[in-house]
Amino acid sequence: MKLKRLGHVAVCVQDIEKSAEFYRNLGMELVWKDADWAYLKAGNDGLALLSPSYNQAGAHFGFIFDDRTEMESAYEQLKADGIPVTHIHEHRDGTASFYGRDPDGNGFEYLYEPA
């Protein structure tokens, strides 16, 4: 299993509009925004803002894969190793991912991000 990089951190916020504007004012670029989540970048690094109504995942950090097959292989390997993971989810922005938890309960995401 070969991860490309740690791609983003996702945090929970109360107000998507207010928080997105705050991080834009810090110099981040707004890439995607919906009513329940927003995604900003600083170079190759991302920040996902999750509203209280966002029910796909809570706070987590995301690892990026260049190749969908590698992400799917990692999914099968983690399942074989007995690590509980969600099903692979197709996202509205063209990415695909699954979520899991480390031994301390911290959330992580393995994300295929097309070029």
pLDDT in tens, 58-98: 899 999 998 999 999 999 999 999 999 999 999 888 899 99
Question: Residue 115's pLDDT band (boundaries 50, 70, 90)?
Answer: confident
Q: Which DSSP category does 85 fall into?
A: B
Locus of tokens 């799917």: 72
Domain of 30: which CATH number?
Answer: 3.10.180.10
**Residue 96 carries which side chain, given as an amino acid letter?**
A
Report the distance separating Cα 74 and Cα 27, nearest Å.
34
Beta-bridged to residue 62, according to DSSP, are 8, 109
| Structure-block tokens of residue 43 | 């170079």
Q: Inform me whether the pLDDT recorded for 15 exceeds 90.
A: yes
Give percent of the chain above pLDDT 70.
99
Collapsed DSSP state (helix, strand, coil) of residue 102? coil
Q: Inform me whether the pLDDT recorded for 2 exceeds 80.
A: no
The C-alpha angle with vertex 105 and arms to 100 and 110, in degrees rounded to 5, equals 25
Collapsed DSSP state (helix, strand, coil) of residue 30? strand
Beta-bridged to residue 30, according to DSSP, are 40
When pLDDT is averaged across residues 93-115 and rounded to a whole number, the result is: 90
- What total number of domains does the chain contain? 1
| Structure-block tokens of residue 50 | 């999750």
Question: Residue 60's domain spans which residues?
Answer: 5-112
